[in-house]
Structure 1
Amino acid sequence: MSKSIKELSLHYDPINESNTFTSGDIVEGRVVLEVTKEIKVDSFFVKLTGDANVRWTEGSGDNERTYSDHERYFKLKQYFIQERSKKGESEKNTTLVDGETYGPVIRPGSHVFPFRFQLPQQNMPPSFKGFHGWVKYVLMIKLSRPWKSTSSTHTELTFVLRNDGSNDHLLQPQSGTQDKKIKLFGSGKMSMNVTAEKTGYMQGETIRVFVDIDNSSSRDIKLKYGLKQQQTFIAGKSTNRAFKDIVKETRDRIPSGEKSKFIVDMTLPHDLTVTIENCRIIKVQYELKVYLDVSFASDPEVKFPVVILPAEQQCPPWQGPPGGFQPYPPPQPNHPGELPPPPAGLYPNLYNPSVLPYPGAAAGVYPNPHAIQPGFHPAPSAPVYDPNQSTKESSPNVPY
């Protein structure tokens, strides 16, 4: 960072205890710029982007090949200072957000630049970092000056899916049965009946499974079970899959000729990645497997799909946008290489402060984002741009 710039920092206001955001939420905060001497600025802006990206390499040497793909969900941008020649111009694939604008000369001291965005009300995947790809929602600021390198900094937001309670079909129980006859190194038959209470579980919840085993064979067996995560990365017609064991356990031995009943409890991590089906290039899915370990023979097994849902968020009443948030439709499968059609009203207007108070007004739980921070200059913290300002500010002889 330049010697003349003592601080360039980015701060946003949490809207809940878990510091997460979802579709339609307001993201607001401030950029702090402290300069030791007067500087001239060409461009100064804050942007919020949502992207998914995959990349992996296969083979080696002359046969090495890299696969990659990218998907952008939105790009929102608010200018504090914009070059005069570009004022009013649109930018490709970018939604420009109105905000306070300032003059091209910043005087010595600390200055606070407020910003406010609204996340699009569309079906976007949650934040994710996997073996060969990620989904990120990033706030970034960039400050460009004549004949100087660009100064920038960024921070990531944690985006979560909205648990809208419309997943009744995931509450249905699942059942499966497997039988096996022993032909080698023994005789007889074993059977297993498995029942899971439901299909969908929230982060931190406990999966409960009931297992009935009839070991009418001459062999001793063991009950084993596990929950496995599958990450799928898609680039064009190429696919890369990676697996991760979330739970993997072994229960007591079931001796020959005995019947046993088990209740299997698997507590899910609170930070477990939710199921991702609404991303074209990244999928995250789960499978529950219950099986009998039989030495020197194939193992009878029962498999169930499991859907991991986001934990319920305790949201303050002011969090939603005006007019009420309409839950997005359930995820629809997309074919590789096929982009989903954008929903109507992709980028709704920012919420109207006359309709909803700023978040800090809610019982004083969260601070006013526009409050002057200790050590900062009182408002106005940065000069409001006025084309009729004296020529001193626009003179090329002004030091920067």
Structure 2
Amino acid sequence: MNCSFSHFLVGFTTESRRLPLGIDIEIKMSKSIKLLSLQYNQINESDTFSSGDIVEGRVVLEVIKEIKVKSFFVKLTGDAHVSWTEGSGDDETSYSDHERYFKLKQYFIQESSKKDGPVISPGCHVFPFRFQLPQQDMPPSFKGLHGWVKYVLTVKLSRPWKSTSAAQTELNFVLRNYGTNDHLLQPQSGTEDKKIKLFGSGKMSLAVKAEKTGYMQGETIRVFVDIDNSSSRNVRLKYSLKQLQTFIAGKSTNRGFKYIVKETRDRIPSGEKSKFIVDIKLPHDLTVTFENCRILKVQYELKVYLDVSFASDPEVKFPVVILPAEQQCPPWQGPPGGFQPYPPPQPNLVPYPGELPPPPAGLYHNLYNPTVLPYPGAAAGVYPNPHAIQPGFLLAPSAPVYDPNQSTKESTPNVPY
């Protein structure tokens, strides 16, 4: 019995591809198992998920010859992890920490202590699954210099005296836009004066105003700059938007950063006054500000300054809060709390050309019977974040708290997302 699949993988490698109805991760197996395919349905064009969303899909197993199964399940986990080392040789010290938000598991075949475990016959078999992401305050997916936040969907098939077959894929978890706190709409302003004592004389003044503190992904930050160069030196206007990453392991902290924008503007000659409007277009996929993770935080800093040769630069710094774009946040699916009833399998569960044949008669009727299967997550261990804000009290990110003059150890600016 063959499936109408387009096999494009070799050996034991895994790869994902986009489908009209979902995402598919395939792993081509060995002698007994020809294919183990993990698929989930996209719920929006940006392929993102948020708290309370439903994650559903199916596992497709193609078996060449009869196999005995020890256990067969799919799980969904949410975790944050940080790790780094300092020093070298005998003085090298490693730091790490981990935070788990949840672990949900749905068994297709429960693990049994019996010697003769369940048997799956040759052919193609479809196993639907359905989870609901916890409705709690969790950080978005993120990959930084010394840590990450991941939401991973994994399928595992264990057989007696055989290596475990597995496939997994990451979900892109984003924060919802719960509205903007009033203080994020308040304008920001700052001034800085500098006297020139070396290679010149006089003074210069820098005044900066920003329309607000909080901005959505894809929005434009508008800044008004007023410069009075009453010195004998020529200066240039510069500005930058920097992503600040903080990694925490116990009492140790490591910081990294990444420039989102760094530009040089016009020259302001000696004795002149100038006014500028600076527009910074934010990327639509820019990681939002989050401080709801105990071990990893992402904040942003806007800096406007005057480049003065052979002297310290006068500068004004503002905290900037990046909020989720509204278009990325579809309505919650289903009523709050608990899991939704298990859906019966549909004939088009596998969106490949052609159709899969129905499951062989007499083979694990209960695997396809929604009245027999436990609700998704019923056999799971659920580990809520002890620091999570409970449903009904989800807040928009607050303005980041930091001291721009604080001396910190910053890592290389080339931080990957």
Short-chain TM bin: 0.7 to 0.9
Pair 1:222-2:249 in alignment: no
TM-score by length of 2: 0.76
The Cα shift of 1:178 comes to: 1.0
Q: In the alignment, which residue of structure 2 is the partner of 1:17? A: 45
Query: Bigger shift: 286-295 or 369-378?
Result: 369-378
Q: In the alignment, which residue of structure 2 is the partner of 1:143? A: 157
Q: In the alignment, which residue of structure 2 is the partner of 1:269? A: 283
C-alpha distance in 2 between matches for 1:375 and 1:351: 27
Pair 1:293-2:307 in alignment: yes
| Number of corresponding residues | 335
C-alpha distance in 1 between matches for 2:305 and 2:330: 45
**Counterpart amino acid of residue 39 in structure 2:** H
Pair 1:113-2:93 in alignment: no
**Counterpart amino acid of residue 156 in structure 1:** E
The Cα shift of 1:385 comes to: 4.5
The correspondence for 1:376, drawn from 342, 352, 356, is: 356
Identity %: 79
C-alpha distance in 2 between matches for 1:221 and 1:75: 56
Pair 1:42-2:70 in alignment: yes
**Counterpart amino acid of residue 378 in structure 1:** P
Q: Which ranges in structure 1 are unaligned for 5 or more consecutive residues?
A: 87-102, 324-347, 361-366, 387-400
C-alpha distance in 2 between matches for 1:77 and 1:267: 41
Q: In the alignment, which residue of structure 2 is the partner of 1:71? A: 99
Q: Using a 3 Å threshold, how does the CA distance of structure 1 residues 306 and 72 change in structure 2: closer, same or farther?
A: same
Q: Which ranges in structure 2 are unaligned for 5 or more consecutive residues?
A: 1-28, 368-417
**Counterpart amino acid of residue 78 in structure 2:** G
C-alpha distance in 2 between matches for 1:369 and 1:118: 22
Pair 1:307-2:321 in alignment: yes
Contact 2:124 2:359 in 1 (8 A): no
Q: How does 1:144-293 map to 2 (within 5 A)?
A: 144-293=158-307
The Cα shift of 1:302 comes to: 0.4
Pair 1:321-2:334 in alignment: yes
C-alpha distance in 1 between matches for 2:230 and 2:31: 80
Q: Using a 3 Å threshold, how does the CA distance of structure 1 residues 166 and 380 change in structure 2: closer, same or farther?
A: farther
The Cα shift of 1:369 comes to: 6.8
The Cα shift of 1:380 comes to: 6.7
C-alpha distance in 2 between matches for 1:36 and 1:256: 81
SS at match of 1:313: helix
Deviations 1:326-370 (A, max 9, x none): xxxxxxxxxxxxxxxxxxxxxx311247xxx99x9xxxxxx9874
C-alpha distance in 1 between matches for 2:98 and 2:196: 51
C-alpha distance in 2 between matches for 1:369 and 1:111: 13
Q: Using a 3 Å threshold, how does the CA distance of structure 1 residues 212 and 270 change in structure 2: closer, same or farther?
A: same
The Cα shift of 1:171 comes to: 1.3
SS at match of 2:326: coil
C-alpha distance in 2 between matches for 1:158 and 1:175: 36
Contact 2:188 2:211 in 1 (8 A): yes
Q: In the alignment, which residue of structure 2 is the partner of 1:94? A: none
C-alpha distance in 2 between matches for 1:33 and 1:156: 20
Deviations 1:17-50 (A, max 9, x none): 1010000000000000000111111100000000
The Cα shift of 1:53 comes to: 0.5
C-alpha distance in 2 between matches for 1:203 and 1:71: 26
**Counterpart amino acid of residue 89 in structure 2:** G
SS at match of 1:170: helix
SS at match of 2:153: strand
